[in-house]
Amino acid sequence: MNFGTIGAGTVAQAVAGHLVTAGHKVTLSNSRGPDTLLDVVTRLGPLASAGTADEAAAADMVFLTVMWPQVGDALAGLPEWDGRILVDTTNAFADLEVETASEFVAERAPGARVVKAFNTLYAQYIAADPRHTEGRQLLFYAGDDEAAKADFHTVADGIGFAPVDAGSLRDGGRLMQIGGPLSALHALRQD
């Protein structure tokens, strides 16, 4: 499985760091073009590359890592999703037009199998080695497609997190989004 990021800032680089450490290829993208990401991908190492948003979105699993006001622009005009997995890491610091932020994202990525994840953690806990002395970092995720969630679970487990299925996009998403009880919850699983 290969990986892409739409957005290449703090969260994208933290997730990409874990993925390349685990031996995965990651294509990072932003709105300004691959040339602006050369330093970032050099620091991440040879498994990381800079691409266009279209190239990043062609990956098997794509992480949406833009700020909330940029979600619409970032998803507009991408190639057909054809069932590829879109992991929504965003937090909606806004009044929502729909029930949950991830449903808003899913509506703008038709054909993507959307999994919500990473948004509950501060960036420092995403970037850190999730295998803490006291236990593995819990990583909540939500989604409506069981196979996509199983793939995400395998990836998250493989990079060291303790993944926890929080349910559907609506119910789990509501727990995980800003104002929900899982938002900003930093917790460890004692293995």
Ligand X SMILES: NC(=O)c1ccc[n+]([C@@H]2O[C@H](COP(=O)([O-])OP(=O)(O)OC[C@H]3O[C@@H](n4cnc5c(N)ncnc54)[C@H](OP(=O)(O)O)[C@@H]3O)[C@@H](O)[C@H]2O)c1
Binding segment for ligand X (CB under 6 A), chosen from 41-49, 88-96, 107-115, 156-164, is: 88-96
Contact between 177 and ligand X per CB under 6 A: no
143 versus 146: smaller Cβ distance to ligand X: 143
SS3 of residue 61 by DSSP: strand
Secondary structure of the chain: what % helix, strand, coil (to 5)? 35, 20, 45
64 versus 148: smaller Cβ distance to ligand X: 64
Query: Which residues have a Cβ under 8 Å from the Cβ of 182 and sit 6 or more positions away?
Result: 120, 140, 166, 175, 176
User: What 8-state DSSP symbol labels residue 82?
Assistant: T
Contact between 70 and ligand X per CB under 6 A: yes
Give the tokens for residue 6. 């739409």
Alpha-carbon distance 73 to 188, whole Å? 35
Smallest distance from ligand X to CB 40, Å: 9
Binding segment for ligand X (CB under 6 A), chosen from 30-38, 77-85, 104-112, 146-154, is: 30-38
Residue from 27, 91, 102, 177 binding ligand X (CB under 6 A): 91
Smallest distance from ligand X to CB 164, Å: 16
Contact between 65 and ligand X per CB under 6 A: yes
Q: For 49-71, b where at least 16 C-beta lie within 10 A, e where not — what string?
A: bbbebebbbbbebbbbbbebebb
Contact between 43 and ligand X per CB under 6 A: no
30: phi then psi, degrees, rounded to nearest 5: -140, -170
Residues forming contacts to ligand X in the complex (CB under 6 A) are 6-12, 30-32, 53, 65-68, 70, 73-74, 89-91, 118-119, 121-123
